[in-house]
Structure 1
Amino acid sequence: MKITSIEAIPYAIPYSKPLRFASGEVSVAEHVLVRVRTDSGLTGTAEAPPRPFTYGETQASIIAVINTIFAPQILGLSALDREVIHARLGRTIANPTAKAAIDMALWDIIGQSLGVSVTQLLGGFADRMRVSHMLGFTAVDQLVAEAERVQGTYGITTFKVKVGRQPYRLDVAACRALREALGDDVELYIDGNRGWTATESARALREMEDLDLTFAEELCPADDVLGRKWLASQSRIPLYADESTARPAEITREILGGAAHGISVKTARTGFTYSQRIVYQCEGLGVEVVMGNQIDSQIGSLCSVAFGAAFASTARRAGELSNFLDMSDDLLTEPLRIEQGTLRVRENAGLGLEIDEGKLQHYRQDL
């Protein structure tokens, strides 16, 4: 299964409504579809979602690094040579989603070659995951209405609430309104995207202690080393690290340094290979994990649920798998369906991912 070519195809699909949060806003899914082809006739597929406000990648930079640096380094290697491939990709710093897409496409090829799903290859713990839905910045009445609609339509009972605005009491009021409207049986947690200082975070958390938040994610910047440690030492709400822990060494820093109590795992930035290492690392440290969302399309969500369902630790919590619901269209021939608050993995070999070529032609940006 020698790698013969790698395609990096830019496409753009508008969201029916933008997602706003402390570090940015996304109104169009300007992603890069990645296809790895082999001489055996098998093709692996995944995608890279550019998030310049988080990782510094753009659609153009992802295409450039794949075409000019990554592809020449790994063409001719076997899809099974994952360690060699990662060693060569690792010569180039950063570019996490470009690397992750190549990695997930390779796992797709291996699964297809063996006739088993990626979930089975990774661990095969479950055949589905509970779904968490992400709520962005908007007026309180609209926020509550969206949560009630998602709960009523899809049976979702876990919500991630974007916070980090100024003044912080805007977000405290929003979370309080959600708790009052949705009741005690719904799970709520917050994500600040580094929008607050440590002292603002501490005040906000104190004012939300009665809301029974499951945890709070990335409230202040990763380079505020002492502030994050101080916040974690006094918070009664567990703190989870997200964009500050894109590599295993960063997880060691945050957990052993006392700055975080849990970790968000995102296949869009660490693929399947490094996400697996992170899960095992967290298990060894006794640290809980959650499957995060990179504002993924259905392709990215399919990759996330394939990974998250494979392990007991990742399948324990609801995964952030539903924000494709806000896209005006998608590329899969068979759309994902959230039913009774859960999303099933595909039982097909590999990722079970089939692209609608007509839609790809319509939305691609390089023709």
Structure 2
Amino acid sequence: MNKMIKVVHLQTHLPSSGNAAFRLHQALNQNGVHSRMLSLTSDVAPNTNLNHLNLKATIVARLNSKFHNRHNENVIEKFGLFSYPVLGTDISNHHFVREADVIYIHWVLAGFLNFSGLEKLMKLGKPIIFFMHDMWTITGGCHHSFTCTKYSGTCSKCQMFENAKTNGLPAKELRKKVRLYHKYDNLNFVSPSNWLYELAKKSVLTKDKPLFHIPNLVDTTIFKPADKKTVRQILNLPNTGTLIGFGAISPKSPYKGWSYLKKAFELVAEQGREDIGIVIFGSDYDQEIEQALPFKCYFVGRLRDEYSSALVYNAVDLFVAPSLAETFGLVILESLRCGTPVVAFKTGGIPELIRHKKNGYLAKYKDSLDLAEGILFCLNMLSSGEALPEFDTEVIVKQHLALYKQIAPNKFIG
């Protein structure tokens, strides 16, 4: 087992739960890699392996948000988030970065790193791994392109902007990234899903760069089956009846498919399933959502730790994830690890997690009727779900170790 290589993970914010980068950091440390995390802000207390930046850096980030808001004034809401990083902090001299042999760049926008900050890291000459949690790394600024494929060319006349210009901001950002990526040969790109991996091979930015597919992982000591009756008592949920879970920080986000889920629940209600309750987590009480659904709703709020998340997955009989854009589907893997089947649309990286009618149901994209049929199928035919073996932590860690041997052979002893 390797004891020598040192890695650092960079991410804008480090939340206390539901975080792919943090889980990878922990798993690597548990398997002999010296792993550290550096973030702009954090919910987790700093220690020898976790650190976040100072007040000055957060002020810079707040100023960047003003530029972000200005750039997004004309963004069409249904296409989601667009980012053009203007301001950021130079972290190339931070001791976590200086002492690292390999640098992971996760989600570093919202004022943490701008293009100048990214280039200063590239100039260090150390192997850099861009871990792509969405599509921003391979596009002219959108985080999900939906059906658009202009990132394979110029990103001109971007669909995200009203009255988009041929040489608009997305086209400028794409050109800037092209110059930056092709200037350095120490850049590597990792996708958690084969879906995004295939898209990256088509992007003008990454088609000629080293590309790898390594899934996300979850902690199986936390996300595992538990007694349903007991966890429902802990969460003050009814011990009888059927409970369906739905989770999102913002349920009405353009990425989360709320309108399709609402229609699907209406169709399920028409089948006379009066015993169903809906458990909504990740957001606070929302009267509009409660009044829109035909079933009793239970809002459990934002889950502050992974243990609470695992309790909810174990409390429900079925988890529904109607995402319209999903690079991987971490919540789906969490649910399956807890033995709870999942219904979701067949899009993005989701089909790599769900085996249709085996551990869940893959509904036709944006088809509320099929989503409803999936809900009824799972409630009637599937009593449990299971994660596929390729998502085992040991398998995934070995893939990262193999990657180090390839990109930093002189630093890897194992």
TM-score normalised by structure 1 residue count: 0.30
TM-score normalised by structure 2 residue count: 0.28
Select the structure of larger CA radius of gyration: 2
**Greater RCO structure (CA 8 Å; 6+ sep):** 1
